[in-house]
Structure 1
Amino acid sequence: MNAVLALARHEARLLASLGLWAARRTRGAGEGVAFGYARGQGTMMFGLAFVIVIESVMMSLLLRNHPVVQRVWFLADVYALVLVVGTHAASVVRPHVLGADGLRVRRAAHVDLRVPVERIARVRRELRTTHEPAEGELNLAVGSQTTVTLELSEPVPHVTLLGRRQDVRRVRLYAEDADALVRAVEAARTVAADGP
């Protein structure tokens, strides 16, 4: 039952993201500096949406003699299309954010990891195109790429979409302007190290 509720909350966030995207607003950026990552997946997501539309038209033609099945299939395709566009919208309106409380690393509506700046031991610009799952690592690839690697001095708890908790010591993420993100994190680390 918890998994069903988690999925329902996730889909509600996707639908809310469509409204924020239409209003050209972001969520959770507040007083921080936002770093986008959605451009890296835009072409792929809209390509997937186009395939769903073509598939819907073709299935509608194939099922024209079975109107009940045709309608059910069409509704499933519309739902899938809304989820695809909602996922892209969530990526646009939920950027990575560097603020006073640390770096907020996000991926659409299903990952929102807060990393305190003082726990970032090292940050570097690193382009990776392969990501083998490993204990203590969180890989948030966009278009199969990550561009920034964070090494943490202490683990940070991450709760997955379905509620599983894992401790993360290394985070790999994609940012459109990876150099600017690395510079901003380095500057924030310096300020945190100097203290008040």
Structure 2
Amino acid sequence: MTGAAVGAQREASVWARVRSFAKRALLVELRIYASIGRLVARRPALPAGATGFSYHKPVLTILVIFIVLSAVEIPIIDLIVHQWPFVRIPLLVLGIWGLTWMVGLLAAYLVRPHTVGPDGMRVREGLELDVPLAWEDIASVAIDRRVDEPKSPRITETDASRTLSLRMQDETNIEIELERPTAVRLPGLPPKGGVHEVTHVRLWTDDPKGLMAAVREQI
């Protein structure tokens, strides 16, 4: 391959990543407002006949603190830069956008729970991640609390398994064993994002016993 061809390939790769990032950012932005709308309307994103199980309690206090600090920060900064409109207006817009983003993130945790229903389970996390698992793909579901090292990767691999772990404060308490390696799509680009085949899925729920009861009703 010539130098020009290599350069063109790299440029194409860069633009592909830019387009992917822009698309992802737009979808996240839209989901922020959709989540706020669902929260106001009290309409969580639940498939027909499914039961939702929350996972936000470990981070609820942190999110609320950030929201309160963001709300308090807006009038304080506005008061400081009030006499300079060219500074005041951009900072005001940025502050309101940041506050809206934090509220939308909290709303996403509240209205996009894990679900258990007739068609299977949906494993979720915040604004982006939503992994559907059909019952025919699930071998077993069990309570199994585990605390991992901070900043552990979502996908961990051993000789016998490949596990997707959706931790809250480094913890999971439910393990789903799959019948066979199953493709799941994660947000972002490879290697962290994209499609991965996994044999186990680990997650956190605030009500593991309730989730297990709902699973037993379905299988």
C-alpha deviation, 1:46, in angstroms: 1.0
CA distance in structure 1 between the partners assigned to 2:81 and 2:198 by the alignment: 48
Check if 1:140 corresponds to 2:166. yes
The residue aligned with 2:188 is 162
Count of matched residue pairs: 189
The residue aligned with 1:92 is 110
Name the % identity: 28
Aligned-pair Cα RMSD in Å: 2.1
Among 189, 201, 204, the residue aligned to 1:174: 204
Query: Residues 123 and 186 of structure 1 are in contact (CA less than 8 Å); yes or no, is this contact kept in structure 2?
Result: no
Listed as ranges, the matches of 1:109-124 within 5 Å are 109-124=127-142
Among 70, 80, 103, the residue aligned to 2:88: 70
The residue aligned with 1:101 is 119
C-alpha deviation, 1:49, in angstroms: 0.8
Among 24, 34, 48, the residue aligned to 1:6: 24
CA distance in structure 1 between the partners assigned to 2:98 and 2:182 by the alignment: 33
Query: Residues 172 and 203 of structure 2 are in contact (CA less than 8 Å); yes or no, is this contact kept in structure 1?
Result: yes
TM-score, normalised with respect to structure 1: 0.84
CA distance in structure 2 between the partners assigned to 1:57 and 1:145 by the alignment: 37
- The runs of 5 or more residues in structure 1 that have no matched partner are 192-196
Tell which structure's C-alpha radius of gyration is larger: 2
The residue aligned with 1:56 is 74
C-alpha deviation, 1:186, in angstroms: 4.2
The residue aligned with 1:31 is 49
Distance 1:173 1:82, change over 3 A: same
Kindly provide the amino acid, as one letter, of the partner of residue 168 in structure 2: V
CA distance in structure 2 between the partners assigned to 1:43 and 1:112 by the alignment: 23
Query: Residues 158 and 168 of structure 1 are in contact (CA less than 8 Å); yes or no, is this contact kept in structure 2?
Result: yes
Greater RCO, 1 or 2 (C-alpha within 8 Å, sep 6+): 1
CA distance in structure 2 between the partners assigned to 1:159 and 1:105 by the alignment: 12
Q: Which runs of 4+ in 1 moved over 6 A?
A: none
Distance 1:66 1:85, change over 3 A: same
Among 21, 46, 51, the residue aligned to 2:64: 46
